[in-house]
Amino acid sequence: MTDVESPSYVPGHGLLRGRTAVLTAAAGAGIGGATARRFLEEGARVLISDAHTRRLKEHEGALAAEFGTAAVAAMPCDVTDEDQVRRLFDTAVEAHGRLDVVVNNAGLGGTSALADMSDEQWSRVLDVTLTGTFRCVRAALRHFRDQDGGGVIVNNASVLGWRAQAGQAHYAAAKAGVMALTRCAAVEAVAYGARVNAVAPSLAMHPHLAKVTSPGLLEELTAREAFGRHAEPWEVANVIVFLASGYSSYLTGEVVSVSGQRA
């Protein structure tokens, strides 16, 4: 297998011009942070949130310095807290009059053999990754129901919702749940003129992943990819932009795999 170099960064084309977007877990160098940047490059106004307040503030400042304070706002939010979720979405609507796009990126992983996994480990991953996504989808749909023109939700799932990997029972179950939630929410969202889709990345490298995953496992997972490399977070963000834009107007209830599958 021949390794393929990462492609050149794709410039913005105004695909989200004038849209208001809420993005969870959007601070830092992962998929959420990359998506916030891509949305700004495509002309959107963004309200980014994260449970890590210091990192969120730093990311807000960096984006505002580049794209202007009118385009970027930030609000801490723990998706396991219903009151915080409700305030996040209400704030976006109060500031801009409507809500156009929601990207649910918040998730929690970890590695544990199933026989050794505690109830607390299982429940914590499910509460953040699946129930947290549910809370945000519910909040978004309530706003879409009450406004003209609907909106778009993009959830972040994972190929582990389909594939088996040792030590990932809780995370895989949560991400499979996100996929099922996406499909069911999409059927109901049609009544509000809204669409709900998801992305399922395989391996997008970022500093946090490198901290919580062993180098040996990362090397093994990378070797499985057809391109012989991991995805850049912005490559996943590009697909999220597509799903949020008018280019995907006939897609709903779909889970788009962002991975290099072996033939």
Rounded to two decimals, what is the model's pTM?
0.91
> Is the per-residue pLDDT at 96 higher than 60?
yes
Question: Distances from the Cα of 36 to the Cαs of 59, 65, 124, 145, in angstroms?
Answer: 10, 14, 26, 25
- pLDDT for position 215: 72
Whether 103 shows a pLDDT value over 90: the answer reads yes
Distances (CA, A) of 241 to 7, 70, 199: 17, 20, 11
The separation between CA 179 and the C-alpha centre of its own chain, rounded to angstroms, equals: 13
Task: Report how far residue 165's alpha carbon sits from residue 67's, in angstroms, rounded to the nearest whole number.
Answer: 40
pLDDT at 2 over 50: no
Asked whether residue 211 carries a pLDDT value surpassing 80, the answer given is: no
Q: Which amino acid is at 123?
A: S
Q: Is the pLDDT of residue 184 over 60?
A: yes
Mean pLDDT, range 95-99, rounded to an integer: 93
Contact (Cβ atoms closer than 8 angstroms) between residue 168 and residue 111: yes
Say whether 171 is catalytic. Answer: yes
- In percent, the amount of the chain with pLDDT more than 90 equals 80
Tokens representing 53? Answer: 């307040």
The Cα 225–Cα 227 span in angstroms is: 5
The residue-averaged pLDDT of 151-169 equals: 95
Helix, strand, or coil here: 105?
A: coil
Give tens-digit pLDDT for 131-150. 999 999 999 999 999 999 99
Among residues 171, 192, 247, 250, which one is catalytic? 171
Q: How many CB atoms lie within 10 A of CB 99?
A: 26
